[in-house]
Amino acid sequence: MTLLSVNLNAVAQLRNRRDLPWPSVTGIARVVLEAGASGITVHPRPDERHIRRTDVFALSELLGAEYPQAEFNIEGYPSEDFLDLIEQVNPQQVTLVPDDPAQATSDHGWDFAGKGNFLTSVVQRLKRPDRRISLFCDPDAGPEGVAAARATGADRIELFTGPYGACFDDPAEAGRQLAALAVTCRAAQDVGVGVNAGHDLTLANLPAFQKAVPGVAEVSIGHGITADALLMGFAEATRRYIDVLA
């Protein structure tokens, strides 16, 4: 079964529109975990336009005290500030992304060959027996890209599913994107690298993804589940995503 980690960036971004403490990031974390989510994902950025450093510490405290079985996944570009945050919080999973700080959201995977030495040094610094390292990966990275990712020492890749999510009105292109994702996923599994996925996955496009790209360990979903939660509430939205993933 593919596990669900709920990304809370959109919740934090809504909260930050006002100088008020709601919606509560930790409060929504409780709701989705009680509804069956396996973990929480956040992507703190330097400008704190959504998740703040204080949120990261508050969520870490919440999970440790009330949901020790849940996984905390922190995404980000491995700047010195980010690495320092990871060492302070000690999440179960770190997902490294090649974002420019000014980007609105992640939109591409790592150049594993060109950044191999850099990523290897970061992975070696962050890896611990109780911590998994995942690298954001383009859907068409294929066997060559996966081999370079594996050489860094990373435990997993996270398939960037944004291009697939963007072709919701183009079935032919969706099929091409799924084929590329499937090749990269199989290549990773063949060499013992675990596979996560995330970006613009929804209740509508997850079934086809699950069928075409089997064996994904975990998906991180934020925008889609937040949009659905506006209609049905976070608990029901979480349960529906879990049902699809099962």
Arithmetic mean of pLDDT, 59-69: 98
Active-site annotation holder among 43, 50, 71, 218: 43
Over range 23-27, report the average pLDDT.
Answer: 98
**pTM for the complete prediction?**
0.95
Question: Which pLDDT score is estimated for 238?
Answer: 98
Q: Active-site residue 43, yes or no?
A: yes
Share of the chain above pLDDT 90, in %: 95
Q: State CA 132 to chain mean position distance.
A: 13
pLDDT on residue 99:
79
Given CA atoms 135, 55, 69, 1 in this order, what sign does their dihedral have?
negative
Q: What is the pLDDT of residue 106?
A: 67
Helices (H) and strands (E) in the chain, counts: 11, 8
63, 83 contact by CB (below 8 A): no
Instruction: Give the pLDDT confidence of 180-235 residue by residue, as tens digits.
Output: 999 999 999 999 999 999 999 999 999 999 999 999 999 999 999 999 999 999 99
Residue 199 a catalytic site member: yes
Considering the candidates 50, 71, 158, 199, report the single residue annotated as catalytic: 199
Q: How far is CA 83 from CA 79, 91, 98, 156, 211, in A?
A: 6, 12, 14, 18, 36
Kindly report the CATH number that applies to the domain delimited by 3-245: 3.20.20.70
Q: Which of 50, 71, 75, 218 is catalytic?
A: 75
pLDDT of residue 87: 96
Confidence band of 31 (pLDDT split at 50, 70, 90) = very high
- pLDDT 10s digits, 141-182: 999 999 999 999 999 999 999 999 999 999 999 999 999 999
Contact by Cβ (8 Å): 112, 148: yes
Position 103 pLDDT exceeds 70: no
